[in-house]
Amino acid sequence: MKWNSNLYDNKHSFVAEYGKSMIDLVNVRKDQKILDLGCGTGILTNELAKEEATVIGIDSSIDMIKKAKLNYPSLNFQVADATNLAFENYFDTVFSNAVFHWIPNQEKLLSSIYNSLKDNGKLICEFGAKNNVYKIQTAFEKVLKQNGYLYCSNFFLPSKEEYKLLLEKTGFEIEHIIEYDRPTPLADGEKGLRNWLCQFFEHYLSNISYEKREEILFETEKICRNSIWKDNQWIADYRRIQIIAVKNKETFQPVKKVGSI
């Protein structure tokens, strides 16, 4: 997945705005060490650091980290792999917004987070749930197939029951887990869905000719207009899982390395 940091900030600011509501769940005192996992352009990292907590923002995207460093030069940002964190018993909290659904190997991810946390440290995160953007994905898949291309979702979108089992297998105790609908308005009026598709399905569109790309975008918009175009704006059919889980050393079960889920 290639991220466009300018498009992300300018057209998809809702990602960080929704994430700000989760800041209230985090202890941000200055004696706390916090990891913002999948920090993007650093908006939420900056929010987490406002009460002088020690905050590190990591992202796998070089472009995102470059933009984050420009936006917030006093903060610590690093390019890093979330499934192989270079920390052990270090953080009081690992915070993550709208990231986990991009990571296929969830067992390795959770094991990496668990090891990076202090005893009784917390994982506080929110990400896509089962059937997240189902209407958009279904329309896009249909149009791709009509044009001779294959679609295979890269998203990991579990139910809360499925994810609860993964957390418990890793050794986390669950304080809070909910799964809910979050209809999400897309910015930029008529162009909103097109902007979304160009960012989040970029890997499908990048190797297609301009003319065919425009045709695919138009046909996807046409199908989606009947379901998610409301009150002169696109309302994406987002579904989320929100989690607070605690590292419990006594219940830890070593996780064997496995392939991607």
- The pLDDT mean for the chain works out to 90
Hey, what domains does the chain have and what are their CATH numbers? 5-133+155-187+236-251 (3.40.50.150)
Which residue from 103, 90, 93 is spatially nearest to 38, judged by alpha carbons? 103
% of residues, the chain, pLDDT over 70 = 89
Banded pLDDT at 251 (limits 50, 70, 90): low
Per-residue model confidence (pLDDT) at position 84 = 98
Specify which residues 5 forms β-bridges with: none
Q: What is the pLDDT of residues 86-138, one digit of tens each?
A: 999 999 999 999 999 999 999 999 999 999 999 999 999 999 999 999 999 99
Q: What is the pLDDT of residues 15-59, one digit of tens each?
A: 667 778 899 999 999 999 999 999 999 999 999 999 999 999 999
Q: What is the pLDDT of residues 181-195, one digit of tens each?
A: 999 999 999 999 999
Whether the predicted pLDDT of 254 surpasses 70: no
Per-residue model confidence (pLDDT) at position 19 = 78
Token couple for 236: 């994406």
% of residues, the chain, pLDDT over 90 = 84
The pTM assigned to this predicted structure is 0.88
Banded pLDDT at 249 (limits 50, 70, 90): low
How confident is the model over 12-17, as a mean pLDDT?
A: 59
Token couple for 38: 């999948």
- Report which of residues 11 and 179 the model is more confident about: 179
Whether the predicted pLDDT of 6 surpasses 80: no
R_g (Cα) of the chain, nearest Å: 19
